[in-house]
Every structure is written in C-alpha cells, then in structure tokens.
C-alpha cells in the first residue's frame, strides 16, 4: 500500500486561471520547460509561422491565438508529479473553465501587472471561492510598465475579497525592472532578460546588508524606495499562514515575467511546497478519501475529434482515490454497467500516450463510445456511491439552427449532438416536435463561431444561425406535477425541451418569469440544470 500512498502524495493538481492575454499560456509553457516536458516554449500569438503553444491544439485556437478548450498537461519536477489544467481565458468559455476547476485541488491566478484584476478574473475567482480551493497569485509582465504594487494588492483584496501576502516584492517595472526581493531570504534576486524560449538566465542574489553592491545593481533611488517599501510591507501585509492559504482565505503573491522567464521557477518551487496533495471529494455517502478508497473518478470534460484521423471522443476523468490499472473492471455508476475503460491515455495537448496505471490526482482520457456525460462517477464494481454533479450554466444567447443542405441531415444531427454532449453548447427542440427544429443556447457568443466552424470542418455540414431574442431560461424543477399543455405563460415565453427530454421555458423579459409563476400555482422554476 505504501507505494500507492507515496505516488498519491507526490501528486499536485492545479488549474491556471486568468483574463485573456494575462500570460497564462506562456506561464504554463515555462512550467513544462522546467519539467523537461518541452525543449523550447511556443508563442501564443496568432502568427501562421510561429510555433504554437503546446496547450492550444484546436485549429480555431491556432487561428485566433486564444485557448477555447481546457487541456491537461502532466510533468515531473523535483520529485513531484504535476498535473496542470490549462483553462480557456476567454469569458465566452467560462463554463468549460468552471468544470475544469471542479477537477483541480488549487488554482494559480495570473494577473497582468499593468491591468490588475479584470472582469474575467473576477468571475473565475468566484468559482474558486465557491469551491474554497487555495489560490496562488502570479503577477505577470513586470518587464513592462506596471501599476503601483500596493495598488495591485489592494485591488486583489477589494475586488476578490481575499487577503494577500507577498512572498516576494518587485523592484521597479518596465525598463527599470531590476528584480524581486525575497522576503523570506531577505535577499534581492536580480532580473536578467533571457532568450525568450529558454530556461532562466543567470541571476545574482544580493543580501540587503550588502548595500553598496545593491546600489551598483539597482541604483540609489530604487534601493531607497525598496527599503521604504519593505518597512511598509512588514507593518501592513498579512502574515503568511499556510492554514489560511489552504482554506482559500489568503493568497500568496509572486511577481515576475513569464515571457522573459524571470521569477517562474521561484514561484514553482514555493507553490509546490505550499499546495496540497489530492484532497478528499464529496459524494452522496460523504467524503471519499484519496488514500483510503480504491479507484474512483468522475468525468469533468468530454472532447470530440481531438484526433482528426480517428474521429474519436475522449472523456476526461479526474481520479479521486486509489490507483487505476488499465486492465481493471470498473463500474459506470450512472450507466449501471461494469466495464473496462477503453484506451486509457494521458494527453499532452494533441499528443497522447497509452497508460498502464494512474493515481488519485491524475487526469486520464478514455475513449468514449457516447456513454459518458459530464459529472458521471466511475468506481470499483463492489462500491456504490456517486460524486456530486456539476451544475449546467444557464445559456444567455440563443439561435435557431438552419441546415444549408438537407441531404446531410444525418451528419448534422450527429455533429450537433456530439458537440452538445461536450458541454460547449446546449441544444433544445420545440416542445412538441422532433429534431427538425433545433435551438442552440450558449453562455458566450463566441461559442456560436466555434459551433459553425466545427460543424463545417469536422462534420462537413454548413449551417446558418438565426439569433433569437430570448435571454432567460428556466428548468422546471417539478416537471412531474405540472401539465405542460395547460401551462399558462406570457406572450414572450417559449416551451422547449433539452436533449434528455426535460421541459424548459425561454423568456425574452425577466419580468415574464415572475408573471408565469403567478399564473401557475405550484410551478417551481430553477436557473441550474442538473446532469
């Protein structure tokens, strides 16, 4: 047993979240560089000739230079086995990020030093707070002109409602960026701009006592400013308290530049010591401890056509307890079926490697013949429990889908159904008709572009989207007690059903929801769908 326990204890599984363009993918790449997983980091900008970042694999991502799907990256560093869940930064894909955060034990929040806390950071952060997971902050792009450091910390505390504790402190920014002061070692680590895709260059450590050497390196003005700021910091900032970090009440803050690779390894080393081993997870029978239970996992993501040649679907599972072995029989709880997981693999962006074993904390991809749904539980055949489900976000934009070539009906239905099963879009039908009238709902409008693009490129089907005016959607919680045919609604209400046949109501105006509830005694509406 000790070897399983040891393997689980060296696992660290975290998600990286940020606003688009804060440098998240660049930071991810640099982590991989340290783990020896890649030799030269890629660039994320949308240039046709540039090396593309390893974690962005879908064609549309390469064209636009944004991450639209979450990818999973595993590497070894300093005795740890690290699983990074890279999430889409764009707000139109926040639902995918939300699901990915369900599979992480902690989160790294990347903030652009010149922009501070941006809208998307706020939204994602709230998800971390809901889950009470530890958050670590990396303030990036110090090699460019940055906002005042105290203001940045202030903003994190006010906007996100979490205390901050700087582990290091920047000296200057932009052209005058000279390095960081390590508060624990009481030393200045000098900044050197290294070649963009390589590991950290030579940096010098200077003790605060060596005032003359320090003055030579950073100049009199920045030295005096640093001494003043250290005094302020020691008096004003929160004490570092690991317990508070792990409860999600305090975020350790680091400064650096992912692009020039300064401060990245310092951050990684501290982070690995502060973050936790895989955490217990809530199920309907109580908490499932990673070390005390045999293998169990849940599905947090489904991705079709990661490999054009194979037209396959991969279900991503977070292992929550025990050890997985490729030949073992497991139970798919929701499908009430004992089975072997087909082609278990570890996926590094678009590359994959077949696995023989994996442990709690790891993420595995398995071939999905269309039986898994997001939120499903997999456990040993003798066990009987289910992990708590992942709620479905209410879509905010709706469109009617028109197929351009009716001869391709079969491909169209297959394509749109598969993309919907991945959770990127939700599809609805008119309440009393079949698949001929399809309405698609999305959380962010960019999802419409991705849908159109993928249907054309992966299923060879052209569609036209007609925007609909609906903005509000409600699931009917007590559908068995309500006669839908007799439901009295408002003129702007539309009855639809989802893929599982559940009835839903669409509204143009928010006040219509209240009116509909008033007119139908006993009707219970909810904003979240359950899987």
pLDDT tens by residue, 175-209? 889 899 999 888 998 887 654 445 555 668 888 88
Q: Write down how long the chain is.
A: 531
How sure is the predictor about 57, in pLDDT bands with cuts at 50, 70 and 90? very low
Give the three-state DSSP class for 479: helix
Q: Where are the alpha helices (DSSP H) in 369-488?
A: 409-421, 446-459
User: Tell me: the pLDDT tens digits for 151-177?
Assistant: 999 999 998 889 999 999 999 989 889
Per-residue pLDDT, averaged over 9-29, amounts to: 85
Lowest mean pLDDT among 32-46, 76-90, 346-360: 32-46
Query: Where on the phi/psi map is residue 228: left (φ > 0), alpha (ψ -120 to 50), or beta?
Result: alpha
pLDDT the model gives residue 296: 97
pLDDT of residue 370: 79
Question: What is the dotted CATH code of the domain comprising 281-379?
Answer: 2.40.30.10
Could you report the per-residue pLDDT of 471-523, keeping only the tens digit for each?
Answer: 899 988 888 888 888 888 889 999 998 877 888 999 999 899 999 999 998 89
- The answer to whether 225 and 288 have CB atoms below 8 angstroms apart is no
Distance CA 136, CA 113 (A): 15
Percentage with pLDDT > 90 across the chain? 37
Which range of 3-17, 39-53, 57-71, 382-396 scores highest in mean pLDDT? It is 3-17
Tens digits of residue pLDDT in 247-280: 999 999 999 998 888 889 899 999 999 998 999 9
Q: What are the residue ranges of CATH 3.40.50.300 in the chain?
A: 14-67+107-274
How high does pLDDT run on average in the chain?
A: 83
pLDDT score at 180 = 92
Confidence band of 531 (pLDDT split at 50, 70, 90): very low
pLDDT score recorded for residue 54? 47
- In 3D space, the residue among 30, 61, 60, 59 whose CA is nearest the CA of residue 44 turns out to be 61
**Exposed / middle / buried, residue 2 (Cβ in 10 Å: 0-12, 13-18, 19+):** exposed
pLDDT of residue 46: 39
- Collapsing DSSP to helix, strand or coil, 352 comes out as strand
Residue 459: beta bridge partners? none
The pairing of strands 357-359 and 438-442 is unpaired
∠ CA 87-92-97 to the nearest 5 degrees?
Answer: 25
C-alpha span between 278 and 301 (Å, rounded): 19
Residue pLDDT, tens place only, 283-310 = 999 999 999 999 999 999 887 765 555 5
pLDDT, position 398: 94
The angle at the Cα of 374, spanning 369 to 378, to the nearest 5 degrees, equals 75
Beta bridge partners of 13: 83
Q: What percent of the chain has pLDDT over 70?
A: 84
Q: Under the phi-then-psi rule, with left for phi > 0, alpha for psi from -120 to 50, and beta for the rest, what region is 286?
A: left
User: pLDDT band for position 91 (50/70/90)?
Assistant: low
Distance of CA 288 to the CA centre of its chain: 23
Does residue 70 surpass a pLDDT of 50?
no
Q: Select the more confidently predicted residue: 367 or 98.
A: 367
Distance CA 221, CA 229 (A): 12
Region of residue 475 (phi > 0: left; psi between -120 and 50: alpha; otherwise: beta): beta
Residue 59 confidence class, pLDDT cut points 50, 70, 90 = low
Among 22-31, 44-53, 178-187, the minimum mean pLDDT is found in 44-53
Q: SS3 of 81, please?
A: strand
CA atoms within 13 A on the CB side of 269: 6
Determine the pLDDT at residue 430: 82
Residue 145 sits at φ, ψ, to 5 deg, of -60, 130
Domain 14-67+107-274 classified CATH 3.40.50.300?
yes
Tokens of 35: 């783990």
Top-confidence residue, 197 or 22: 22
The pLDDT of residue 383 is 92
Average pLDDT over residues 449-461: 88
CB-based contacts of 117, cutoff 8 Å, min separation 6: 111, 155, 156, 159, 160
- Averaged pLDDT, 348-377: 84
> Which residue ranges does the chain devote to CATH 2.40.30.10?
281-379
Average pLDDT of span 20-38:
77
Q: What is the pLDDT of residue 374?
A: 87
Q: Yes or no: is domain 397-526 CATH 3.30.70.3280?
A: yes
Residue 73's H or E segment, with its range, is strand 71-77
């Amino acid at each position: 047993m000790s070897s399983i326990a040891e393997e689980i204890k060296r696992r660290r599984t975290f998600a990286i979240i940020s606003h688009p363009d804060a440098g998240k993918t660049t930071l991810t790449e640099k982590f991989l560089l340290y783990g020896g997983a890649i030799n030269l980091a890629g660039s994320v900008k949308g240039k046709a000739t540039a090396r593309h970042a390893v974690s962005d694999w879908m064609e549309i991502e390469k064209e636009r230079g944004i991450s639209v799907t979450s990818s999973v990256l595993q590497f070894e560093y300093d005795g740890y086995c690290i699983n990074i869940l890279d999430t889409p930064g764009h707000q139109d894909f926040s639902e995918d990020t939300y699901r990915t955060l369900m599979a992480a034990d902690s989160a790294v929040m990347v903030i652009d030093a010149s922009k501070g806390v941006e809208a998307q950071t706020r939204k994602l952060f709230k998800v971390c707070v809901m889950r009470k997971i530890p958050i670590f902050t990396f303030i990036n792009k110090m090699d460019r002109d940055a906002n005042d450091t105290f203001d940045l910390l202030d903003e994190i505390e006010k906007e996100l409602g979490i205390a901050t504790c700087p582990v290091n402190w920047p000296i200057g920014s932009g052209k005058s960026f000279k390095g960081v002061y390590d508060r624990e070692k009481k030393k200045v680590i000098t900044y050197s701009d290294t070649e963009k895709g390589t590991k950290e260059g030579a940096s010098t450590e200077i003790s605060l006592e060596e005032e003359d050497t320090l003055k030579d390196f950073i100049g009199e003005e920045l030295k005096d400013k640093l001494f003043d700021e250290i005094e302020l910091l020691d008096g004003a900032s929160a004490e570092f308290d690991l317990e508070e970090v792990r409860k999600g009440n305090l975020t350790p803050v680091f400064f650096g530049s992912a692009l020039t690779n300064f401060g990245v390894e310092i951050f990684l080393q501290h982070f690995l010591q502060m973050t936790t081993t895989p955490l217990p997870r809530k199920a309907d029978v109580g908490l499932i401890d990673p070390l005390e239970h045999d293998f169990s996992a849940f599905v947090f993501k489904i991705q079709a056509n990661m490999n054009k040649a194979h037209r396959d679907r991969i279900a991503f599972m977070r292992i929550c307890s025990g050890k997985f072995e490729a030949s073992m029989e497991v139970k798919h709880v929701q499908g009430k079926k004992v089975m072997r997981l087909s082609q278990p693999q570890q996926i590094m962006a678009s590359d994959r490697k077949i696995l023989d074993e994996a442990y709690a904390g790891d993420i595995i991809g398995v071939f999905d013949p269309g039986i898994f749904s997001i939120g499903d539980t997999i456990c040993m055949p003798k066990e009987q429990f289910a992990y708590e489900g992942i709620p479905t976000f209410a879509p905010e934009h709706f469109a009617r889908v028109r197929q351009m070539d009716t001869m391709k009906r079969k491909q169209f239905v297959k394509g749109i159904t598969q993309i919907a099963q991945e959770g990127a879009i939700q599809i609805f039908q008119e309440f009393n008709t079949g698949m001929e009238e399809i309405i698609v709902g999305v959380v962010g409008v960019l999802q419409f572009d991705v849908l159109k693009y993928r249907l054309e490129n992966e299923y060879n089907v052209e569609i036209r989207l007609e925007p609909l005016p609906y903005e509000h959607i409600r699931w009917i919680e007590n559908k068995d007690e309500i006669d839908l045919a007799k439901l009295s609604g408002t003129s702007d209400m539309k009855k639809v059903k989802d893929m599982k046949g559940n009835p839903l109501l669409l509204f143009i105006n928010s006040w219509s929801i209240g009116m509909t509830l008033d007119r139908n005694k006993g009707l219970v509406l909810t904003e979240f769908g359950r899987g």
